[in-house]
Amino acid sequence: MNYEIYALKYAGPVSSRIAMVVYLGDWTEKVERAYYIWVVKGEGETVVFDSGVRPDYGREMSLLKDSYVQQDTMLERMGIKAAEVKHLVISHMHFDHCGGLELFPNAKVYIQRREFDFWAYDPIAKRPPFAGANKNVPPPWGQSYGVSEAVSINQMAELRGSDRLVLVDGDQEILPGIEIMLTPGHTPGLQSLAIETKNGIVVLASDSAHLQKNFEIDTPSCFITDMLEWLRSYSKLKEKVGGNLEMLFSGYDKMMLDKYPKIAEDITRLA
């Protein structure tokens, strides 16, 4: 198969403490990161990986609003209409990955069953580490948002029982040369996407790593559901690309904008 892969930056860059994106890293220095969705094109198919933030939420969040560009606008820069996308793979149900669901009304939505069930039904998902930030903490964490967002979760949950929702159990090929990989740790059922390209298998790992550095030093971020599963996922991801970390892409690294060929404003071709 001969797919091409594109990174579309819809917000950022923003600055974060290194300790936030590298577990027990530097507590004083900062690093820039960006917010993306990804597009896989080829063999007559278009697949969107992650839907980004819910548009109204992106416009109101102090973290994102100054740089936010609605995801369907980003897709239009590639000649893609969000309403015509047939395949939408959601890596996990954090606010900046599943929130843009409303922009893809005709897409089949692929998500791991264990991820969906946790956020939709498990009461633990309603507790502060998952549902929201501590308002007693100074900004930027003392905001009304956390890793999840209730409206986005509800929009996903409403798909239960419809023909649009595909609940995946483990690894699964969804199209020839495009395989979902179960890679938990950051969340209970995060999934990555492995794609056959002319240069070999490329994996979009979303928040399995926030930066490429996470893969390089074998250490994830501070947003952890299960550290043991996360490290096992790192082994699985690295094995999938034969140890070639240049074929493995993290969720927020600014280098996706800086290092790869630009094909439109804030859009680059990764493979």
Enumerate domains of the chain plus CATH numbers: 4-170+252-269 (3.60.15.10)
- Residues 85, 105: contact at Cβ < 8 Å? no
- Residues 205, 248: contact at Cβ < 8 Å? yes
Q: What pTM does this model have? A: 0.94
Q: From 166, 154, 191, select the one nearest 108 (Cα to Cα).
A: 166
What is the per-residue pLDDT across 14-49, written as a single tens digit (0 to 9) for each?
A: 998 999 999 989 989 999 999 999 999 999 999 999
- Residues 149, 54: contact at Cβ < 8 Å? yes
Is 59's pLDDT higher than 50?
A: yes
CA distances to 118, 126, 168 from 114, rounded to whole Å, are 6, 16, 8
Q: What is the pLDDT of residue 139?
A: 46
For the chain, give the percent of residues with pLDDT over 90: 87
